[in-house]
A and B are shown apart, each in its own frame.
Chain A
Amino acid sequence: MGLSTSILLTIALAPLVGCVLAGFLGKFLGRAGSHGVTILGVAVSCALSFYVLYQLTMGGAAEYNQNIYTWFQIGPFNASVGFMVDRLTALMLVVVSFVSLLVHVYTIGYMADDDGYTRFFSYISLFTFSMFMLVMSNNFMQLFFGWEAVGLVSYLLIGFWYKRPTAIFANLKAFLVNRVGDFGFLLGIAAVLYFLGTLDYATAFAAAPGLAGKALQITANTQWDAATVICICLFVGAMGKSAQVPLHVWLPDSMEGPTPISALIHAATMVTAGIFMVARMSPLFEMSSTALSFVLVIGATTALFTGLIGIVQNDIKRVIAYSTLSQLGYMTVALGVSMYSGAVFHLMTHAFFKALLFLGAGSVIIAMHHEQDMRYMGGLRKYMPVTWITMWVGSLALVAVPFTSGFYSKDAIIEAVGLSHRWGAHYAYFCVMAGALVTGLYTFRQMYLTFHGKERFKVVEPHGHGHHDGHDDHGHHEPGVLAHAPKESPWVVTLPLVLLATPSLLVGFFTVGPTLFGNWFRGAIRVDEANDVLAELGHEFHGAAAMALHGFTQLPFLLVLVAFAVTTYIYLFNPALADRIKSALRPLWTVLDRKYWVDDVYFALFARGSVLLGRGFWKASETALIDGAMVNGSVNLVHRVAATMRRLQSGYLYHYAFAMILGLILLLGGYWLVGSGLAGH
């Protein structure tokens, strides 16, 4: 049976219905009603997404590509709303809807005491709808719609607690930095229309080989290769959305939002939209190895240098945020070596284990009464065993211990980079290899600081016998002082953890063969034969188990062991050593703690600079030049002329008589001069 339009429409619109109901009728529906309708909506989408994946994989269904309605038709140019659903889309649908569903359930527990409960559910359902529109799109216009719509929801959710100055700073920053990316993205779309004459994916991809040899006239004697211009512009969009250096600055700040959305939007799904987009555009990117080298270098830089910052963070969520940046860098590196399916594969495994880590961190944050500083944690494992174990599962997947999902996706990327001959591949290989060590360092450090070692918090029972609500006054606490002992979170929180831990552990083992080496994405992803590092890698692939066993002997795993040994020694046996290392390497630590000063420079240059420039324009040009000199100036001129004229009309007869006599003398004198001059000839 094929895929029907109604099924796909239901997938997209069910969360939107939930969003509208919870958003506008939240008061009538109540809390349970609101989370009921939104969860129902996403559950329907999730079930149908699995069905679609099943149909495309086992059911023998053909790819779906149809327009639903015409958005505009101007001459030959058409923009439509429509769906393209192939295996790439189906995989994204399953990942998005599955993580979204779990996050919806988790939110019941996490936001239980929040006044914005129904609003939150409305937002995350709106997000799910937007993300579906993005991944299911069959054209560039709708892609841009989904792209910006997820940005909007991200803006609303980062600023969810809108009373906090830091939150509303972070959401503005996130939106603007993303807009810088979208600026490039939109120009990329315009370039696609210019060179390929269409906004439709299928038509554009079919025409893509024709890009070869075409160029864009930049100045009278400069030309840029068409495919390179298109791909770099599109990728600038991906750099914004997927937080690649130098547009990465918004993602750590986005942690101001509630933790469920950090998991859903800022780890598992939205930030991977850029990766998905490049994979989707593989027929275009394959046309420009210059653009792919650019992608490769950006990704490699992101993978290593943002991971390093993660080592010095004390906020549990920020560690994971920097880890997300670094892992997005890995995916981008995979794209850069034409290993699109590897990028999408890592996107999938990462979605599971990173959502798990964020939700686990959220569970810790609940237990710690909204304390996020790991310096006041420690020894939590005995209070919250489910969170502890599941987070270890996620961590092992993150550091890519063989047999975990993360191993299959990440190790394949590292190996593929090693095989690639693309310009920049050597640098990238160094970055992703060193990144393996860095990942181990910040991950184990985080686990030890949170769950192991001595408890660094005190439990002080509040005085009096009345019920004390720990949530009302969080923020006013003395750090590290809790009103109750930490306890394991309720089942709505731990169930999603378990359900995410399972795929984090297993999905890689079962899917690595087909997705990476079995041409599972055929049709959806196009790789030029000369660039196909995966095919080369495939010669050495003899099953998932053999790959994992082989992995135990390889350098990335050895680096993880080093990281494990170092962190274990420092954080379990010699905690004072961490501070000593910090003092010994003070300059390095400062560089990382200040995040390479990138934020400071951006703020001074772009935020302050723009305001200064605007003020300069306002004072010099608007007020002084245009209004002052030109507009009011001409008024004043008229005034002055009129005033002079008025003075002439004094009303005194002798003034007029004098003027007449003077005029007569001048007139006659003039005649005489002219006359005598003529007579002289």
Chain B
Amino acid sequence: MFNHLLSLLIWLPVVGAIPVLLAGSARPNLARWLSLLVAVLTFVASLFLLVQYNPAGAVMQLVESHLWIASWGVHYGLAVDGISVALIVMTTFVGVLVIAGAWEVIQDKPHQYMAAMLVLEGLLIGVFCATDALLFYALFEAILIPMFILIGIWGGPRRVYATLKFFIYTFFGSVFMLIALLYLYQKAHTFDLATLAALPLTFKEQAWIFFAFLIAFAIKVPMVPVHTWLPDAHVEAPTGGSVVLAAVMLKVGTYGMLRFILPIVPDAGAHFAWLVIVLSLIAIVYIGYVALVQEDMKKLVAYSSVAHMGFVTLGIFIAFMLVREQGRTDTAMLGMQGAMVQMISHGFVSGAMFTCIGVMYDRMHTRLIKDYGGVINAMPWFGFFYVLFAMANCGLPGTSGFVGEFMVILASFTANPWVALFAAFTLIIGAGYTLWLVKRVLWGAITNPHVAEMKEINGRETFVLAAFAAAVLALGVWPQPLVHLMDSSVSQLVQQLAIHKI
């Protein structure tokens, strides 16, 4: 069974979506329970993965490889390292919570919603373990489809604009990736990532390929200035869509950077690291100010996602600077680990934040901050979770939000104190937009009579929020298991940074 564990993880939710669809709108509860069963089974399977994966072993483990398109030498190639394992477990964890979170919230065609969610989950898992560039590309594009459906059918009033913007934006970026991949193929005659990593390339080639990859992945992350699809997509997406989008889909962008830019074009990456670092700092500071003035809660959290993902890209590219300019592999590891931990943490924190907004939206049918105020009076338990996640969002130590940012800031200081200075600004601006939101939504006396009628979270909602809370606290109090899981993989990545291909 363990020989095909990765295939199982991918196909279980995808195939599991079929009976869910077949349950049909006539039997919505059957569809719900079936999809929950599939999601839980996938989560359990991912725990097996966690046990199976040996952090001290080979770099890529649980390898599966079958020839897929013989004439092009495309393989159905799967394998995982510690980073993939962490992302996959996070995906399956969020997968269960998204299904549970949508339970009675989605009344319109729940079977289709759940099925789309499961397919999306399977495809995302696939992205995180693909070792063949074309397979990665196919899955990278394929995840657009279920997300397109989720926003397009269950989305808000401006969903058509949002879905088109989302689709065209990301599709636009991936075209460049495809061109780069085709170029690489005609040089190497394979799409195997490990072979491509060893392929010698001139600086000029690397530069072109670097920018092609950067555009594709920067849009996905998203980085400034190609981020504007995200707030629109979030605002129109149903809660579950937002959660998966923020928690997992954004990581596909940074994951792509790790798998493509770092090993394939390390010299161009090092040469243009400053550009990505500057864009990351803009994301942290500038987006912080933009988030501050949002009037829509979802937009605010969406912008805060952009700022937090800035730490991931900062951590990855500061490592370039540290290795190439100062020869500091140790500090580079710190920065890279920080980026990785931030990816996982942001999955939990943003997922939780969007779930919280969803909980309030279900009761009030508005996302505007001004319609709220004094929610804690009506929903004290909800208030507890909301404050906890808000604190995680502003990086309070003891929550997961702190760990990655702390590591990245520490590493940045060694690279350049000014970078650390701008990055650390998140302490102020992040707390500013998050806690001002909390002040206006949660605290205060009730002014809107509808707020007084809001019902306290029910058992299902409590379960979902408590699960997120457990993850946020566990990671915040003891990040070492996660760090250990990814340690050898991060070390491998950092070593790749040092390799000169020219």
Residues on A lying within 8 angstroms of B by beta carbon are: 69-77, 141, 144-145, 147-149, 152, 155-156, 159, 162-163, 165, 168-169, 172, 175-176, 179-180, 182-183, 186-187, 189-191, 193-194, 216, 218, 610-611, 613-615, 617-618, 621-622, 626-627, 630-631
Cross-chain contact A163 with B445 (CB below 8 angstroms): yes
- The distance from the CB of B390 to the nearest CB of chain A, in whole angstroms, is 11
Cross-chain contact B333 with A74 (CB below 8 angstroms): yes
- Known contacts: A194-B414, A611-B292. The answer to whether A182 contacts B483 by CB under 8 A is no
In the bound complex, what is the Cα–Cα distance between A182 and B425 (angstroms)? 10
Chain B residues with CB below 8 A from A159, complex form: 443
In the bound complex, what is the Cα–Cα distance between A439 and B329 (angstroms)? 55
Report B34-86 residues with CB < 8 Å from chain A CB: none
In the bound complex, what is the Cα–Cα distance between A76 and B414 (angstroms)? 14
Interface of A is mostly: helix
Chain B residues with CB below 8 A from A614, complex form: 289-293
In the bound complex, what is the Cα–Cα distance between A493 and B196 (angstroms)? 75
In the bound complex, what is the Cα–Cα distance between A182 and B397 (angstroms)? 12
Report B417-464 residues with CB < 8 Å from chain A CB: 417, 420-421, 424-425, 427-429, 431-432, 435-436, 439, 442-445
B409 on the A face (CB < 8 A): yes
Cross-chain contact B479 with A72 (CB below 8 angstroms): yes
Chain A residues with CB below 8 A from B410, complex form: 77, 189-190, 193
Chain A residues with CB below 8 A from B407, complex form: 72, 74
Cross-chain contact B397 with A149 (CB below 8 angstroms): yes
Cross-chain contact B396 with A194 (CB below 8 angstroms): no
Partner of B417, one of A189, A218, A630: A218
- Known contacts: A75-B334, A183-B424. The answer to whether A172 contacts B439 by CB under 8 A is yes
Cross-chain contact B289 with A77 (CB below 8 angstroms): no
- Known contacts: A179-B431, A631-B169. The answer to whether A194 contacts B480 by CB under 8 A is no
B25 on the A face (CB < 8 A): no
B330 on the A face (CB < 8 A): yes
In the bound complex, what is the Cα–Cα distance between A152 and B397 (angstroms)? 10
Cross-chain contact B391 with A152 (CB below 8 angstroms): yes
Cross-chain contact A180 with B428 (CB below 8 angstroms): yes
B208 on the A face (CB < 8 A): no
Chain B residues with CB below 8 A from A183, complex form: 424-425, 427-428
- Provide 9 A-B residue pairs closer than 8 Å at the C-beta atoms, listed in order of the A residue: A145-B397, A148-B402, A187-B424, A190-B424, A614-B290, A618-B293, A618-B294, A621-B286, A626-B225
Partner of A162, one of B290, B413, B443: B443
In the bound complex, what is the Cα–Cα distance between A187 and B422 (angstroms)? 10
- Known contacts: A69-B478, A148-B396, A194-B413. The answer to whether A74 contacts B337 by CB under 8 A is yes
Please give me the 5 A-B residue pairs with the lowest Cβ-Cβ distance, nearest first. A190-B413, A614-B293, A145-B397, A614-B289, A75-B330
Chain B residues with CB below 8 A from A216, complex form: 417
The listed residue with most B CB atoms (<10 A of its CB), out of A72, A144, A168, A187, is: A72
**Which residue on chain A has the smallest CB distance to residue B420?**
A190
Cross-chain contact A176 with B169 (CB below 8 angstroms): no
Cross-chain contact A72 with B420 (CB below 8 angstroms): no
Chain B residues with CB below 8 A from A72, complex form: 337, 403, 407, 479-480, 483
- The distance from the CB of B66 to the nearest CB of chain A, in whole angstroms, is 36
Partner of B397, one of A144, A169, A218, A622: A144
Cross-chain contact A165 with B420 (CB below 8 angstroms): no
In the bound complex, what is the Cα–Cα distance between A190 and B424 (angstroms)? 10
Cross-chain contact A162 with B444 (CB below 8 angstroms): yes
The listed residue with most A CB atoms (<10 A of its CB), out of B293, B445, B484, is: B293
B200 on the A face (CB < 8 A): no
Cross-chain contact A631 with B228 (CB below 8 angstroms): yes
Chain B residues with CB below 8 A from A69, complex form: 478, 480
Cross-chain contact B413 with A76 (CB below 8 angstroms): no
Residues on B lying within 8 angstroms of A by beta carbon are: 165, 169, 225, 228-229, 286, 289-294, 329-331, 333-334, 337, 374, 376-377, 387, 391, 394, 396-398, 402-403, 406-407, 409-410, 412-414, 417, 420-421, 424-425, 427-429, 431-432, 435-436, 439, 442-445, 478-480, 483-484, 487, 490
- The distance from the CB of B110 to the nearest CB of chain A, in whole angstroms, is 33
- The distance from the CB of B165 to the nearest CB of chain A, in whole angstroms, is 7
In the bound complex, what is the Cα–Cα distance between A428 and B486 (angstroms)? 53
Chain B residues with CB below 8 A from A626, complex form: 225, 228
Cross-chain contact A187 with B403 (CB below 8 angstroms): no
Cross-chain contact B432 with A176 (CB below 8 angstroms): yes
- The distance from the CB of B185 to the nearest CB of chain A, in whole angstroms, is 29
Cross-chain contact B396 with A187 (CB below 8 angstroms): no
Cross-chain contact A76 with B330 (CB below 8 angstroms): yes
- The distance from the CB of B158 to the nearest CB of chain A, in whole angstroms, is 13
Chain B residues with CB below 8 A from A76, complex form: 330
- Known contacts: A172-B439, A194-B414, A218-B417. The answer to whether A70 contacts B377 by CB under 8 A is no
Cross-chain contact B428 with A176 (CB below 8 angstroms): yes
- The distance from the CB of B430 to the nearest CB of chain A, in whole angstroms, is 9
Partner of A163, one of B374, B424, B425: B374
Chain A residues with CB below 8 A from B396, complex form: 148-149, 152
Cross-chain contact A622 with B228 (CB below 8 angstroms): yes
Cross-chain contact B414 with A74 (CB below 8 angstroms): no
Chain A residues with CB below 8 A from B417, complex form: 187, 190-191, 216, 218
- Known contacts: A163-B377, A190-B420. The answer to whether A74 contacts B483 by CB under 8 A is yes
**Which residue on chain A has the smallest CB distance to residue B442?**
A162
Cross-chain contact A70 with B480 (CB below 8 angstroms): yes
The listed residue with most A CB atoms (<10 A of its CB), out of B329, B334, B429, B480, is: B480
In the bound complex, what is the Cα–Cα distance between A176 and B228 (angstroms)? 28
Partner of A71, one of B229, B387, B478: B478
- Known contacts: A163-B374, A163-B445, A172-B436. The answer to whether A74 contacts B427 by CB under 8 A is no
Chain A residues with CB below 8 A from B394, complex form: 179
In the bound complex, what is the Cα–Cα distance between A77 and B480 (angstroms)? 12
In the bound complex, what is the Cα–Cα distance between A432 and B54 (angstroms)? 63
Cross-chain contact B444 with A77 (CB below 8 angstroms): no
Cross-chain contact B435 with A175 (CB below 8 angstroms): yes
In the bound complex, what is the Cα–Cα distance between A253 and B276 (angstroms)? 41
In the bound complex, what is the Cα–Cα distance between A179 and B405 (angstroms)? 15
The listed residue with most A CB atoms (<10 A of its CB), out of B289, B376, B436, is: B289
Chain A residues with CB below 8 A from B165, complex form: 631
- Known contacts: A71-B479, A73-B483. The answer to whether A610 contacts B391 by CB under 8 A is no
Chain B residues with CB below 8 A from A70, complex form: 480
In the bound complex, what is the Cα–Cα distance between A236 and B158 (angstroms)? 47
Partner of A75, one of B333, B387, B478: B333
Q: Told that A72-B337, A163-B377, A179-B394 touch, could you supply 20 new A-B pairs with CB distance under 8 A?
A: A72-B479, A73-B480, A74-B330, A144-B406, A147-B397, A152-B391, A156-B387, A162-B443, A176-B428, A179-B427, A183-B427, A186-B409, A186-B424, A194-B414, A611-B292, A613-B289, A615-B293, A618-B294, A621-B290, A626-B225
In the bound complex, what is the Cα–Cα distance between A191 and B411 (angstroms)? 10
In the bound complex, what is the Cα–Cα distance between A184 and B294 (angstroms)? 27
Cross-chain contact A176 with B435 (CB below 8 angstroms): yes
Cross-chain contact A141 with B406 (CB below 8 angstroms): yes
Partner of B293, one of A169, A218, A611: A611
Chain A residues with CB below 8 A from B428, complex form: 176, 179-180, 183
- The distance from the CB of A96 to the nearest CB of chain B, in whole angstroms, is 19
In the bound complex, what is the Cα–Cα distance between A144 and B424 (angstroms)? 14
- The distance from the CB of A565 to the nearest CB of chain B, in whole angstroms, is 47
In the bound complex, what is the Cα–Cα distance between A190 and B431 (angstroms)? 20
Cross-chain contact A74 with B398 (CB below 8 angstroms): no
In the bound complex, what is the Cα–Cα distance between A351 and B355 (angstroms)? 43
- The distance from the CB of A25 to the nearest CB of chain B, in whole angstroms, is 13
In the bound complex, what is the Cα–Cα distance between A430 and B376 (angstroms)? 50
Cross-chain contact A610 with B289 (CB below 8 angstroms): yes
The listed residue with most A CB atoms (<10 A of its CB), out of B391, B410, B479, is: B410
In the bound complex, what is the Cα–Cα distance between A187 and B413 (angstroms)? 8
In the bound complex, what is the Cα–Cα distance between A69 and B394 (angstroms)? 25
- Known contacts: A152-B391, A180-B428. The answer to whether A622 contacts B480 by CB under 8 A is no
- Known contacts: A72-B337, A74-B333, A74-B487. The answer to whether A175 contacts B431 by CB under 8 A is yes
Chain B residues with CB below 8 A from A186, complex form: 406, 409, 424, 427
Chain B residues with CB below 8 A from A77, complex form: 330-331, 334, 410
